[in-house]
């Protein structure tokens, strides 16, 4: 029997291998209790890899999923505040579609390697990330 309650989670900043082999920042949230877990890639909206993005990831982990939220602006503004990073990414024309798909693919591979991963993956995003989620779902075997 697991020593952890069903809603116990661990959440932390990690690094995943994204598009082009780039190491990018991401946020991982996962239940502590043993179990078969589906994986979700949470895509942040245009205003950035912000506090709310991490809160969404934690919430889904409490509900029993492994969650990775990649920082799509890791390359544009490493270490910058979320709003400054979003402005820098916007000024650069936004996240290229190909790069987005590669970063989501990297997040899926990270999820696939987690203990308890059941091989089922999904992608969620809202606002501009709704388009990104659709793009990733149509481009990757998830």
Partner 1 sequence: MCTYLAEHVEIDGSGKGLTGWFGADRAAVYVDHAVHAPYTHTVNIDVINPELGPAARVALELTEESALALAEAIRKAIGHAPAGLTSKNQ
Chain residues in the site for partner 1 (CB under 8 A): 45-47, 50, 76-77, 80-85, 87-88, 90-94, 127-128
- Closest to partner 1 by CB, 103 or 111: 103
- Closest to partner 1 by CB, 13 or 81: 81
Q: Least separation, in Å, of the C-beta of 32 and partner 1?
A: 32
What does the alpha-carbon distance between residue 62 and residue 7 come to, in Å, rounded to a whole number?
Answer: 5
- Closest to partner 1 by CB, 48 or 106: 48
The answer to whether residues 107 and 122 touch, using CB atoms and an 8 Å cutoff, is no
Q: Least separation, in Å, of the C-beta of 80 and partner 1?
A: 4
Q: Least separation, in Å, of the C-beta of 89 and partner 1?
A: 9
The answer to whether residues 56 and 100 touch, using CB atoms and an 8 Å cutoff, is no
The sign of the torsion formed by the CA atoms of 89, 90, 91, 93 equals: positive
The answer to whether residues 98 and 19 touch, using CB atoms and an 8 Å cutoff, is yes
Q: Least separation, in Å, of the C-beta of 25 and partner 1?
A: 14
What does the alpha-carbon distance between residue 140 and residue 64 come to, in Å, rounded to a whole number?
Answer: 23
- Closest to partner 1 by CB, 5 or 81: 81
């Amino acid at each position: 029997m697991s020593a952890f309650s069903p809603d116990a989670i661990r959440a932390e900043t990690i690094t995943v291998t994204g598009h082009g082999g780039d190491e990018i920042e991401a946020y991982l949230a996962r239940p502590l209790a043993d179990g078969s877990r589906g994986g979700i890639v949470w895509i942040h909206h245009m205003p950035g890899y912000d506090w709310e993005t991490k809160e969404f990831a934690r919430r889904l982990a409490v509900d029993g999923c492994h969650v990775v939220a990649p920082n799509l602006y890791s390359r544009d503004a490493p270490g910058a505040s979320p709003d400054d990073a979003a402005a820098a990414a916007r000024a650069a024309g936004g996240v290229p579609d190909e790069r987005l798909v590669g970063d989501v693919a990297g997040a899926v591979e990270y999820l696939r390697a987690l203990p308890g991963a059941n091989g089922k993956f999904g992608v969620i995003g809202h606002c501009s990330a709704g388009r990104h989620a659709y793009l990733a779902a149509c481009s990757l075997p998830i």
